Amino acid sequence: MTALTLSTAAPSGLRADAVVVGVAKGDKGLVVAPGAEAVDKAYDGKLASVLETLGATGGEGEVTKLPAPSGFKAPVVLAVGLGALPAKEEAFEAESLRRAAGVAARTLAGAKKAAFALPVADAEDAGAIAEGALLGAYSFDAYKESAQDAKAAKAPLAEAALLGVKPRDKAYKAEIERATALGEELNRARDLVNTPPNDLNPEAFAAVAQAAGKEHGIKVQVLDEKALTKGGYGGILGVGAGSTSAPRLVKLSYTSSKAKKHLAFVGKGITYDSGGISLKPAGHNETMKCDMAGAAAVFAAVVTAARLKLDVNVTGWLALAENMPSGSATRPGDVLRMYSGKTVEVLNTDAEGRLVLADALAKASEETPDAIVDVATLTGAMVLALGNRTYGIMANDDAFRASIHEIAEEVGEPSWPMPLPADLRKGMDSATADIANMGERMGGGLVAGLFLKEFVGEGITWAHLDVAGPAFNEGGPFGYTPKGGTGSAVRTLVRLAERTAAGDLG
């Protein structure tokens, strides 16, 4: 994990492998961003023109390397694009700083130390840069053991030193501590998503949660197949029936003596989704190890809340199962009796996420939390609607949905509010059971949300985040987002917990 340090040293005097500076697109060309004044001066005020000669424009994510000026202890200056220059008297947005720091950290993989001379107007800016550097430096190389792969896989940037900051200031220290906790836990969520399903089945995931609970003072309860059977968790058991890896329901409880509110986070944790008897075709199942990304996000958020000692009670529910075809698997046409007592006719075994979530939502509702938020890679329909980088938000309360959207945008997680049209509910009527797990094909993401709503306790505020698009990046890395597991929704959940602790639930 990349170490974070705060430094008052001048860019020229710091021993590092590179000095990172920001550049932006101005009305008349490239502009050197605040924080890099000393570096620009060392180039006789000609850094912008030198960079333009090399083809730099200041565009977001653009990287240009050049030899450091004479007298610098670092051999390289790395200029990273921040995008459009803000209007006069306005600062760069936190997300621009996060992305720039992330790009720089990833570019400097293999380096021991980099000095970040990016714009810092206040402690929050320092936190954004620190967060971006930690997330951008991430790599997953646990399974690359051949000599050739090991040589190609450079170690993450070992240390990021932030310049232009106040190391002794409490606000700056707090932001770095927050970024460290959040970055480490979000990266752990990425590790879980990237871990092959033969090494991360429900039992193994539960063990990871138990170990984290011991480390951070979180109470962890694991319901195995016997406890699930005794408790009547028909949805979780039905989904896991076809696998030799038995399902689990994991409860993580972080409590604060000063808490006045209680949040419940529920995560879909299908450690591998073959589709079951409704088998996925080739081309659609190769990345289905990522179908537990919602549970990974919930797990990371609860641990982060504990590490930050937030004044709010947070309970995480991880609904873990492996969806496989076999002679014991649930069949299309089977009826499951859920934990809530409702019966569900299973028309498609590949609509399994809503079944495990339904049991977890009903169980979480028994504690009457002030709000429930579930996170799931739930539907391909949401990806069709919003693309690969934006998740959908549905809720039974418009104000709460708006608050989640605002929080997501604030922390840099693109999202969009989606409706729950009442007319789509009729499509899930069943002649055999209380409800079917499928409805109309058009608006499938909304249908899934309506299904989940049926299992939320009366009077409880609830939101559903469908992260099917952004949870797993099959393209190239961008900003601080790597290829593979991304940790989508972790930062939204953590910020929601922070706001709730401060008395603003939304």
Q: What's the rounded Cα separation, in Å, for the pair 250 and 390?
A: 28
Instruction: Report the 10 Å Cβ neighbour count for 413.
Output: 24
Half-sphere exposure at residue 152, Cβ-oriented, CA atoms within 13 angstroms: 9
Q: What's the rounded Cα separation, in Å, for the pair 114 and 105?
A: 8
The reply to whether 226 belongs to the active site is no
| Strand 313-323, strand 159-162: pairing | unpaired
3-class DSSP state for residue 106? helix
Q: Which residues sit opposite 253 in a β-bridge?
A: 219, 315
Catalytic residue among 73, 166, 280, 453: 280
Q: Which residues sit opposite 478 in a β-bridge?
A: 481
The reply to whether 28 belongs to the active site is no
Q: What's the rounded Cα separation, in Å, for the pair 485 and 192?
A: 8
Q: What's the rounded Cα separation, in Å, for the pair 254 and 248?
A: 19
Distance of CA 83 to the CA centre of its chain: 24
Consecutive H or E run containing 194 = helix 170-194
Catalytic residue among 354, 363, 495, 499: 354
Cα end-to-end span (Å), the chain: 34
* 266 contact partners, CB below 8 Å, separation of at least 6: 298, 316, 317, 319, 357, 360, 361, 364, 372, 373, 374, 375
Q: Which residues are catalytic?
A: 280, 354
